[in-house]
Structure 1
Amino acid sequence: MQNIDKELLLRQQLVELLEGGFAPNVILLREFDHKKAGIILDGLHFSAWILLGHIHARQQVLYNFMRNPDGYPEVWPEGHWPENYEPKSRQEWETAIESYEKDLNKVIDLVKDPKKPLFKICKNGKTISWAALTLLHHTGYHIGQLKTIGRQLGVW
């Protein structure tokens, strides 16, 4: 039986999933028509634009914790939901996606860093691996909503 470095394997798997696995989030967002990103479907309280802002804000909170666990003990504050429901322009939509991607790459770089202890329990009882998994779960949940909205609006 092979001697497998389980921490390295976990880091590789987290990176693969953060990059999007079989459905990269950044590609999905770039495919979304900015003209439809502000539409709120009946029965919902959010548009694709609001979801992107919410996903990115939570990603930033979790990244800040991962970067400096003892400096950011509050990893699940009240969720940020943007008040404006639509991008002002195609450029604003694209800039928001670029910012999300840039910050996602920071998370990925941190997860790859063998100096960052994935399993060290921090003051708040959480770990960096917990934060990475929480980010995956949270983003996946809302990307599913965004994908559903896009299908309803004829984006795909």
Structure 2
Amino acid sequence: MENTRSESIEGLVREQLVELLKGGFAPNVILLREFDHRKAGIVLDGLHFSAWVLLGHIHARHTTLLNFMKDPGKHGNVWPDAPWPQNYAPQSQQEWNAAIDRYEADLEEMMAIVKSPNTELFRKQENGKTLSWAAMTTLHHTGYHIGQLKTIGRQLGVW
């Protein structure tokens, strides 16, 4: 009975992590696809980034954490400096959409890892972190910067 309860709780945690990785009630990929690529390169007064830079930064950090989840022994450095892209604007709508496609593909891969009952989400790795920590860090980091992107979009009249 206890094992069934533990499995049920773990299943619920997996389900909720996946929901939050998507962005919860405001899915990140939908928000990014709604953003007008022609406004993605605008840097508002007082900021040092555009929506394009935020997308690049979000994806860079996400990639680091995904690599850790795929091979924790090889990718134990989970918090190196995440790059901030130097170019502030996509060259075209195709470049903007391709960047979103890459982010979405990596997000799907991370969610598949979290969903898999074969993934040991709570086992401490050599660096002291767990795969559940990586998933939660991803959703926290992404949520923080998606909030910034949403604010920029509102200021620019995207929504």
TM-score class, shorter: over 0.9
What is the rounded CA distance, in whole Å, between the counterparts of 1:58 and 1:140 in structure 2? 12
- Partner amino acid, structure 2, of 1:82: P
Instruction: Calculate the TM-score normalised by the size of structure 1.
Output: 0.97
Compute the TM-score of the two structures, normalised by the length of structure 2: 0.95
Give the drift of 1:116: 1.0
| 2:109 aligned with 1:106 | yes
1:43 to 19, 43, 46: 46
Aligned partner (choices 128, 140, 155) of residue 137 of structure 1: 140
Q: How many residues matched?
A: 155
Matched ranges for 1:17-32 at <5 A: 17-32=20-35
Counterpart residue number, 2:78: 75
- Cross-structure match for 2:63: 60
Give the whole-Å Cα distance in 1 for the aligned partners of 2:111 and 2:122.
Answer: 16
CA distance in 1, matches of 2:110, 2:126: 21
1:87-146 residue CA offsets vs partner (Å, 9 max, x unmatched): 000100011011100110000000011111011101100000000000000000000000
% same residue: 66
Which residue in the other structure is 2:89 paired with? 86
Would you identify which runs of 4 or more consecutive aligned residues in structure 1 move more than 2 Å?
A: none
In the alignment, the residues of structure 2 paired with residue 23 and residue 106 of structure 1 have an alpha-carbon distance, to the nearest angstrom, of: 20
**Which segments of 5 or more consecutive residues in structure 1 lack a partner in the other structure?**
none
Residue identity opposite 2:68 in structure 1: F
Work out whether residues 40 and 90 of structure 2, in 8 Å CA contact, stay in contact via their aligned partners in 1. yes
Q: Is the 8 A contact 2:23 2:139 kept in 1?
A: no
